[in-house]
Amino acid sequence: MRMDASQKNILQLNRTNIVKDLDPSNVYDGLLSRGIFTEDMIDEIKSAGTRRDQARQLVKDLQMRGSRAFPAFLECLRETGHHTLVNILQSEGPVTVPASLPVLPSAVPFPISHPIDGKKPDRGDGPQKLVPLKPALPILSPEGESLAPRLPRPRRESIQSYKIEANPCGLCLIINNVDFDPASDLKNRAGSDIDCDKLKRRFESFNFCVTVRRNLKCKEIKHQLSVLASTDHSLRYDCCVVVILSHGTESNNNRFPGAVHGVDGRSVPVQIMTNYLNGKNCPSLQSKPKLFFIQACGGGEKDTGFEVSPDEVRPMAGGMDDQTDAIPTSSSSDSLSLSDEPDARATLPTPSDILVSYSTFPGYVSWRDSNTGSWYVETLDCILEQNAATDDLVTMLMMVNNEVSQISAKGLYKQMPGSFNFLRKLFYFQTSKT
C-alpha cells in the first residue's frame, strides 16, 4: 500500500523542522530493522552528502515506502529521543502509531470526540454535546486499498536521476583489440581504430577521464578491469564506463550473455567483466552507474531479417567492406572457467546500477566497415552527439536500436543492438549544454 496522502502532506509541511533537528544516522538502524529501507537504500541516502542533505533525502524517500513508513518513522524518533519532532508531526493531525510493526490501521478509525467550540466541560456538569473529528486515516477497502481519490501526479516524478556532478564525472576504459594472434584464427579488425577514436572524443566531451588500451590478451583484459575495480571512486567520481571493441562469441550465463576475445583468442564472458565492478567487488561504485558498451559479435548467426511494409523502414545500405566480429560458439577450452576467478563468482547477487549495451542480439554477428567503423559505434556516436543534452541514456539507446535496424549489409543482412538494463534511475551525461 502507498503512504496515505495526509501523511505525505505532514512530512512535506514539516520538512524544514525535520532537516533542522534530525540527525538521520540516529534512525537508520530502526528503519532498517523494521523493513522500511534496505541497506542499499540507506547507503543511497548517506551518499546525499551533509546531515541536512541526508535528512532531506530521507523525507523524500519515506514518502515512497508505503503505509508503514510514517508510523515506523515516528517510532524511531521516539526511541532516539526526538520527542519535539514527534509532537510536531502529530500536531498536524491525530496519527495512530502501532506498538510494534507490522500493524496496519483499522479499516474505519474509531471517531475521536471533543467539546463544541473547544471548551472544556466542568466536572459534574453532566454529559456534554460532542462532535466527531474527521478520521486521521482514509477509509480502506477490504483489500487494503484507499477508497479516497488520488491526486494526479507527473508521470516521471517517481523516477530519480543519478547524480553526475563530479569533475571529471568518472573513469572510462576503452579496450580496442585490432591485431590478433594468427594462431587464434581470428582476423584483424580493420576499422576498429576509427570506432576507438570516436568514442574517446565523445566520452572526453562528457567529462570522463578516458584511458585506451590496445591489443590486450585475455589476462590483460582481466587485469585492466581489476585495476579499475581497485580504484577509489567514492569521493572523486560519480560513474564508470567500459568500452570493449573486439571479436566476440556466445557464452551461456544467467545474467549477461556473450563473451569478448583477447588478441590471444581466449575469451572473457561479459558477466565476469561486469562482476569486477558490481557492488560487492567494487564498493566505491556502490549505487553508482556502471555502463558497458560492447562492439563484438554475440555469435555466428547472420540475420536476414523479415519482410515488412516499405513504409516501416528507410533503406540504408551498409559499406562495401562490411565485415563481422564473430567466430564460432566458444568451447570449454577458450571460455573463462569460474575456478579461474575467485574474486568474480557467478553466484554473486544480481547486480544493480549496471547497464550493458550490446552491438547485436545474442547469437548474431555484428557488422563493421573497414573504412568507416562499425554500424553500432558510428550510430551510437551520432545519437549521443545530437541528443545527450536533452535525453537520458536508455532513451538514446532505443534510438540507436532503431537506426541500426534500418541498415543492411550486402543488401541482405541486418543487425539489432540491444541492452541489459539494471539501472535504477535515469542517467544523463554531462554536456556543455546542461
Active site residues: 247, 297
The DSSP letter of residue 34 is: T
What is the C-alpha separation between 120 and 92, in angstroms, rounded? Answer: 21
Vertex 300 angle, CA 298 and 301, to 5°: 100
C-alpha 64 chain-centroid distance: 17
Measured in residues, the chain has a length of 434
Residue 239, C-alpha cell as written in the block: 560513474
| Number of continuous H segments (helices) and E segments (strands) in the chain | 12, 16
CB neighbourhood size of 215 (10 A): 17
Contacts of 202 (CB under 8 A, 6+ apart): 381, 384, 385
List all residues 6 or more positions away from 112 whose beta carbon is below 8 Å from its beta carbon.
94, 132, 133
CA distance 1 to 237: 36
Cell of 47: 551518499
Rounded distance between C-alpha atoms, residue 327 and residue 295, angstroms: 14
Among 143, 204, 140, 194, CA closest to 170: 204
Beta strands 367-369 and 373-374 are: antiparallel
- The answer to whether the beta carbons of residues 369 and 318 sit under 8 Å apart is yes
Strands (E), 267-426: 267-269, 290-295, 316-317, 322-324, 354-358, 367-369, 373-374, 407-408, 418-421
Cα–Cα separations (whole angstroms), residue 372 to 162, 178, 325, 327, 367? 34, 15, 15, 22, 11
C-alpha neighbours within 13 Å on the C-beta side of residue 388:
16
Q: All 3 cell numbers of residue 402?
A: 532503431
Distance of CA 393 to CAs 16, 46, 170, 285, 384, Å? 34, 25, 16, 19, 9
